[in-house]
Amino acid sequence: MHVNLTINGEQYEADVEPRLLLVHLLRDVLRLTGTHIGCDTTHCGACTILMDGRPVKSCTMFAVQARGKQLMTVEGLEQNAKLHPLQEGFMAEHGLQCGYCTPGMLMTSYAFLQKNPKPSEDDVRWAISGNLCRCTGYVNIVKAVQHAAAKIAQGGA
C-alpha cells in the first residue's frame, strides 16, 4: 500500500505491506532510528512519536494509519541548529543515562508541555507514566521537564 506522510516537516512516501508497523516504517524503511522499540506492547513508550500533535506509541500502530498525517519524531526537535529547551533540560538536569528511553520521553514531554506549560512535579510524573526508564529513577527527568517549562515561559522557544 502507498503511504505518504509528513515527518518533521518533510514529505515522505513509501510502498508498504498493510501490516507494517509505523515504528518499522520510521526505523527500517525511512531510517529515522531515533525512535526506539522497547516492548512491542505499548507499555514502555520508547517508540513514542507525535501524530498531529498527539503522542502515540508507534510500535502498536500500522504505517498506513499515518497516511496523510503530520508526524514529529525526536529528530525534529532541533530547529535551525538550535536545541529545543527539553533537549537542553535533559542535558542540564542529567535526565538521561543510556539514552534509549530518551526520545520517547522527549516526545511525550513535548506534547505535555503544550497542554500544561507550568506543570507541578506530580503533573510531570503522571504525564510520563507511560514511558519507562530503567536508568534514571525519573527524579531528574521530572526536573528536566520543569527546566524546559521555565525556559519556554521565558521565551526560550
Partner 1 sequence: MELKTSPEVGGMGHSIKRKEDPRFIRGKGTYVDDVQLPGMLYLDIVRNPHAHAKIVKIDTVKALAIKGVLAVITGKDLEKYNLHWMPTLMSDTQMVLPVEKVMYQAQEVAAVLATSRYAAADGAAAVEVQYDPLPVVVDPRKALEPGAPVLRTDKKDKKDNHIWHWEWGDKGATDRAFGEAAATVKEDIYLPRIHVASIETCGCVAHFDRVNDKLTVWMTTQAPHAIRTVFALVAGHVGLAEHKIRIISPDIGGGFGGKVPVYPGYVIAVAASVLTDKPVKWIEDRMENLQADSFARDYHITAELAARKDGTLTALRIKTLADHGYTDAAANPSKFPAGLFHVCTGSYDLKAAHVEVDGAYTNKPPGGIAYRCSFRVTEAVHTIERMVDLMAHQLNIDPADFRMKNFVKPEQFPYKSALGWEYDSGNYGGALKKAMDTIGYADLRREQAEKRKRGQLMGIGISSFTEIVGAGPSKHFDILGLKMFDSCEIRVHPTGKAIARFGTKSQGQGHETTYAQILAEELGIPAADIQVEEGDTDTAPYGLGTYASRSTPVAGAAAAVAARKVRDKARKIAAYLLEVAEDDLVWEPGKFSVKGAPNKSKTIQDIAFAAYTNHPQGMEAGLEAVSYYDPPNLTYPFGSYICVVDVDSGTGEVKVRRFVAIDDCGNIINPMIVQGQVHGGLTMGLAPALYEEISYDEIGNIRGGSFIDYLLPTAVETPKWETGHTVTPSPHHPLGAKGVGESATVGAPAAIANAVVDALWHLGVRHIDIPITPAKVWKLLREKGVTE
Contact residues: partner 1, CB under 8 A: 17, 19-20, 24, 27-28, 31-41, 43-44, 46, 73-75, 77-78, 83, 87, 90-92, 94, 96-103, 106, 121, 124-126, 128-142
Residue 42, φ and ψ in degrees, nearest 5: 70, 20
Distance from the first to the final alpha carbon of the chain: 38
Q: State the DSSP string of 55-101.
A: EEEGGGSBGGGGTT-EEE-GGGS-BTTB--HHHHHHHHTT--SS-SS
| Minimum CB distance to partner 1 smaller for 13 or for 40 | 40
Which helix (H) or strand (E) segment is 54 a member of?
strand 54-57
| Minimum CB distance to partner 1 smaller for 114 or for 129 | 129
Contact 60, 21 (CB under 8 A): yes
CB of 86 to partner 1, least distance (A): 8
CB of 59 to partner 1, least distance (A): 10
| Minimum CB distance to partner 1 smaller for 55 or for 102 | 102
CB of 155 to partner 1, least distance (A): 21
| Minimum CB distance to partner 1 smaller for 23 or for 66 | 23
Within 10 Å of residue 92's Cβ, how many Cβ atoms?
Answer: 15
CB of 116 to partner 1, least distance (A): 15
